[in-house]
């Protein structure tokens, strides 16, 4: 089975002052944000050209964790990339 990206890749940033919370909650935030950006509803429909709920999904990839330090203490930023992906048969090139 092959995959094909639909549309563009979205970059998602999440910020927090707690190292533990950014790791625990970062992927959940990225998932909610990706679903919103791609317009995925409760029934699995999305506002992505070529989307078919039976063979498409949203993929989220962790890219990096950065920390910045200042007078107010550390702040952490998680960066994710998200995209819509369609699964196809190997010989079915659309």
Is residue 94 included in any domain, yes or no?
A: no
- State the sign of the Cα–Cα–Cα–Cα dihedral 91, 4, 7, 50: positive
Q: Check if the beta carbon of residue 39 is closer than 8 Å to that of residue 58.
A: no
Is residue 56 included in any domain, yes or no?
A: yes
Q: What percentage of the chain exceeds 90 in pLDDT?
A: 61
Q: Check if the beta carbon of residue 28 is closer than 8 Å to that of residue 87.
A: no
Is residue 93 included in any domain, yes or no?
A: no
The predicted pLDDT at position 23 comes to: 79
Q: For residue 46, give its domain range.
A: 2-88
pLDDT digits (tens, 9 = 90+) for 38-76: 999 999 899 999 999 899 999 999 999 999 998 888 999
Q: Is the pLDDT of residue 93 over 80?
A: no
The predicted pLDDT at position 67 comes to: 93
The mean pLDDT of 16-27, rounded to a whole number, is 85
Task: Say how many domains are in the chain.
Answer: 1
């Amino acid at each position: 089975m092959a995959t094909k990206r639909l549309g563009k890749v979205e970059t998602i940033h999440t910020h927090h002052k707690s190292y533990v919370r950014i790791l625990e909650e970062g992927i959940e935030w990225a998932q909610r944000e990706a679903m919103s950006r791609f317009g995925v509803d409760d029934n699995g429909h999305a506002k992505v050209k070529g989307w078919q709920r039976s063979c498409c999904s949203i993929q989220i990839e962790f890219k990096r964790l950065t920390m910045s330090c200042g007078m107010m203490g550390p702040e952490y930023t998680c960066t994710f990339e998200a995209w819509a992906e369609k699964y196809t048969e190997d010989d079915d090139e659309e």
